[in-house]
Amino acid sequence: MSRNPFANHPFLLGFEEVERLVERASKSGSDGYPPYNIEQHGERHYRITLAVAGFREQDLSVSLEDGQLIIRGGKPDDTERTYLHRGIAARQFQRSFVMADGLEVVGASLENGLLNIDLERIEPVNVVKKVPIKIR
């Protein structure tokens, strides 16, 4: 059985990257840690909230890399404590989200063990460009 990706349709010129983005998104962060919410506030504003209890600001990083929003967390090993039971997860993690064109990160904040990342969709500028036809 041959595979017929949607990006091979003749009217979708230059959309080969979309198929790669869908594949990348399906592979990223499937272990469920840390849990997160995605909220929409109005037409153009979004918020991603990750539950990062026990992590400090210096333990977390938020970056944009190759069209992806990457959130990483890691804590140094705690060798000073002896745990009888350790049920609070503090392992390293990386959670990534594929960003659409026109979506920008406008801020991040850490409050009560929740990392909030605010996004905004920027209005596209509709520009009509005339292409001159050369006679040869």
Q: Kindly tell me the sign of the dihedral angle through the C-alpha atoms of 125, 103, 111, 74.
A: negative
- Determine contact, residues 30/36, Cβ cutoff 8 Å: no
Set out the domains of the chain in order of their start, with CATH numbers. Answer: 1-30 (no CATH), 33-121 (2.60.40.790)
Q: Kindly tell me the sign of the dihedral angle through the C-alpha atoms of 96, 45, 108, 101.
A: positive
For 118, residues 6+ apart whose C-beta sits below 8 A from its C-beta are: 45, 46, 47, 105, 106, 107, 108, 109
Predicted confidence (pLDDT) per residue in 13-22, tens digit: 666 666 766 6
Secondary structure of residue 97 in the 3-state scheme: strand
Show pLDDT as tens, one digit a residue, over the chain (136 residues): 445 565 566 666 666 666 766 666 666 555 788 999 999 999 999 999 999 988 999 999 999 998 899 999 998 877 888 889 888 777 899 999 988 888 999 999 999 999 999 999 988 777 788 888 889 8
Quick count: other Cβ atoms within 10 Å of Cβ 1?
3
**DSSP labels, 17-52:** HHHHHHHHHHHSSTT--S-EEEEEETTTEEEEEEE-
DSSP E strands, 1-136: 36-41, 45-51, 60-65, 68-73, 93-98, 103-111, 114-121
